[in-house]
């Protein structure tokens, strides 16, 4: 098994969060008979938006189901804000889960669906009414609320499930592929809602395949493949740790040959190509910080004029490709 790359959100964030505010997986494994769900997962998830990223069947939903007690770990322990799912009466006041099951109790309108389960929580009629209206408003379904869920489009069903999971105002919201089936406008709205909820101090655990949107909204990402956690932390941090994949940077400047000679002197520089038009170069480095230090020094001490500096592969797509896609191909 390879070492897990673990990059905290930031030192300050880590220090300010206590165990009671974290979602903790302690050596958690889940087997379905002989089939591996997830294995030896150790995680500490702080407030904010944490995205679970991985290919189909990698264990994302298993991880979410374990988090919410829909399945029991074969080994290990899961605590959410120091609560266990074995005590649902307390646990689910704090946790809401919008699962991937696209199914509903028969015959309900959107409003009744959300309202009924709030009554099951134990909320009185007036409170349940108010909370239902609020949750449905949040997901932008007020106009369709009185229609039968069976007649909803896929996107509307997704939104009403989202409303049901946030209606009781939990502190932790677990969302399995919440952007599936939403049109671009609704997706943007959903992401804005997630961001607002996260800014209120909530935990949002989101699984998604839409990488550029994950990139846009997440505070941290957990990469999972074949039941193992491959990396976790901020995308930038994870990217910097991928030593076998040097960071690729494009620099457009007036003296690429001069800059190239400076760069070659540095041990962290792996490769330099001067562009055919001789107005820029392509650099591969194992240490981004040192590269930028060097670049600053060169600019200050010489008459080098830099037009642009752009990284080629430090986004989530690239990290996903290196961590999950590339190895998959190589296997």
Partner 1 sequence: MNAVAIEAPTLGSGWSLWRRQIAGILRLEIKKNFLSKRALPMYLLAAIPVVIMMMLALFDRGMRRGVRTNFAEAMIVFSNLHEGLILRTVIFFGCAWIFMNLFRGEVVDKSLHYYFLSAVKREVLVVGKYLSGLIASCTLFLLTTAGALFFLYLPRGVQANLDYIFNGPGWAQITDYLGITILACVGYGALFMVIGLFFRNPIIPALFVYGWEWLNFLLPPMLKKISIIHYLHSLVPVPVNEGPLAIIGEPTPQWIAITGMLIVTAIVLFLASMRIRRMEIHYGGE
Partner 2 sequence: MAVYQHTYQHYAGVTTPLWSRFLILPRYAFQGVFQSKLFTGLFAICFAPLLVMTILIYFKHNTTALAAFGLSVSDIGFNINGFFFRVFTNIQTGFGFLLTVIVGPVLISRDLSNNALPLYLCRPLTRTDYVIGKMSVIGFLLSLITWVPLLLLFFFEAYLEGASWWWENLFIARAVLVVSWAHIILLALLATALSAWLKWRIAASGALFAVFTIPTPISIMVNEMFSTNLGTLIHPSFVLNLLMDKLFRLESGMLPDWMVPPTWSLWASLIVLALICVGLLSLKVRAYEVVK
**Chain contacts with partner 2 (rule: CB under 8 A):** 107, 148, 150-151
> Is residue 311 near partner 1 by the rule CB under 8 A?
no
Q: Least separation, in Å, of the C-beta of 197 and partner 1?
A: 5
225's tokens: 């493949």
Please give the full DSSP string across 3-16, using - where no structure is assigned: PPEE--S-HHHHHH
Stretch that binds partner 1, among 137-145, 218-226, 288-296, 306-314 (CB under 8 A): 137-145
Q: Is 140 in the site for partner 1 (CB under 8 A)?
A: yes
* Residue partners of 188: CB distance under 8 A and separation at least 6: none
Give the C-alpha separation, 242 to 221, whole Å. Answer: 15
Task: Give me the residues paired with residue 44 across strands.
Answer: 24
CB of 200 to partner 1, least distance (A): 5
Task: Find which of partner 2, partner 1, none residue 147 binds, CB within 5 to 8 Å per kind.
Answer: none
Partner touching 151 among partner 2, partner 1, none, CB below 5 to 8 Å by kind: partner 2
- What length does the chain have? 331
Out of 28, 38, 63, 97, name the contact with partner 1 by CB under 8 A. 97
User: Minimal CA–CA distance to 330: which of 321, 285, 235?
Assistant: 321
Closer to partner 1 at the Cβ: 50 or 165?
165
Distance in angstroms (rounded) separating the CA atoms of residues 121 and 321: 42
Which does residue 91 bind out of partner 1, partner 2, none, counting CB within 5 to 8 angstroms by kind?
partner 1
Q: Which residues from 193-222 bind partner 1, rule CB under 8 A?
A: 193, 196-197, 200
Cβ atoms of 91 and 84 within 8 Å: the answer is: yes
Measure the CA–CA gap between 274 and 252, rounded to whole angstroms. Answer: 10
- DSSP states of 36-47 as a string? EEEEEEEEEE-S
Min dist CB 169 to partner 2, Å, is 31
Q: Which is nearer to partner 1, 133 or 326 (CB)?
A: 133
Strand order in the sheet with 23-32: 35-45, 23-32, 75-80
Looking at the Cβ atoms of 131 and 242, the one nearer to partner 1 is 131
CB-based burial label for 199 (10 Å; 0-12, 13-18, 19+): exposed
Q: Does 57 bind partner 1 (CB under 8 A)?
A: no
Q: Cβ closer to partner 2: 148 or 327?
A: 148
The binder of 57, among partner 2, partner 1, none, by C-beta within 5 to 8 A per type, is: none
Q: How many residues bind partner 1 (CB under 8 A)?
A: 50
Q: What is the CA radius of gyration of the chain?
A: 23
Please report, as ranges, the residues that interact with partner 1 according to CB under 8 A: 65, 68-72, 86, 88-93, 95-97, 99, 101, 103-107, 116-124, 127, 131, 134, 137-140, 164-165, 168-169, 189-190, 192-193, 196-197, 200
């Amino acid at each position: 098994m390879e070492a897990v790359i673990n990059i905290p959100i930031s030192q300050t964030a880590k220090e300010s969060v206590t165990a009671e505010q974290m979602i903790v997986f302690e050596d958690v494994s889940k087997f379905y008979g002989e089939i591996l769900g997830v294995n030896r997962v150790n995680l500490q998830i702080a407030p904010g938006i944490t995205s679970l990223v991985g290919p189909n069947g990698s264990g994302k939903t298993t991880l979410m189901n374990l988090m919410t007690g829909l399945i029991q770990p074969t080994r290990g322990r899961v605590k959410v804000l120091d609560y266990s799912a074995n005590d649902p009466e307390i646990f689910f006041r704090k946790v809401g889960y919008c699962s991937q099951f696209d199914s509903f109790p028969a015959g309900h309108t959107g409003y009744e669906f959300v309202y009924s389960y709030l009554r099951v929580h134990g909320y009185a009629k007036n409170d349940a009414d108010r909370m239902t209206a609020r949750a449905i408003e949040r997901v932008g379904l007020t106009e369709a609320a009185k229609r039968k869920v069976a007649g909803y489009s896929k996107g509307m069903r997704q939104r009403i499930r989202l409303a049901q999971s946030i209606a009781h105002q939990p502190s932790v919201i677990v969302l399995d592929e919440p952007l599936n089936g939403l049109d671009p406008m609704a997706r943007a709205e959903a992401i804005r809602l997630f961001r607002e909820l996260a800014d209120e101090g909530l935990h949002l655990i989101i699984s998604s395949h839409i990488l550029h949107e994950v990139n846009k909204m997440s505070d941290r990402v957990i990469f999972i493949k074949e039941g193992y956690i491959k990396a976790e932390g901020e995308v930038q941090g994870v990217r910097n740790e991928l030593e076998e994949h040097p960071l690729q940077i494009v620099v457009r400047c007036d003296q690429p040959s001069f800059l190239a000679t400076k760069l070659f002197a540095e041990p962290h520089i792996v490769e330099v190509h001067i562009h055919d038009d001789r107005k820029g170069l392509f650099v591969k480095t194992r240490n981004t910080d040192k590269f930028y230090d060097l670049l600053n020094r060169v600019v200050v001490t010489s008459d080098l004029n830099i037009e642009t500096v752009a990284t080629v592969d430090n986004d989530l797509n690239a990290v996903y490709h290196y961590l999950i896609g590339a190895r998959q191909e190589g296997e």
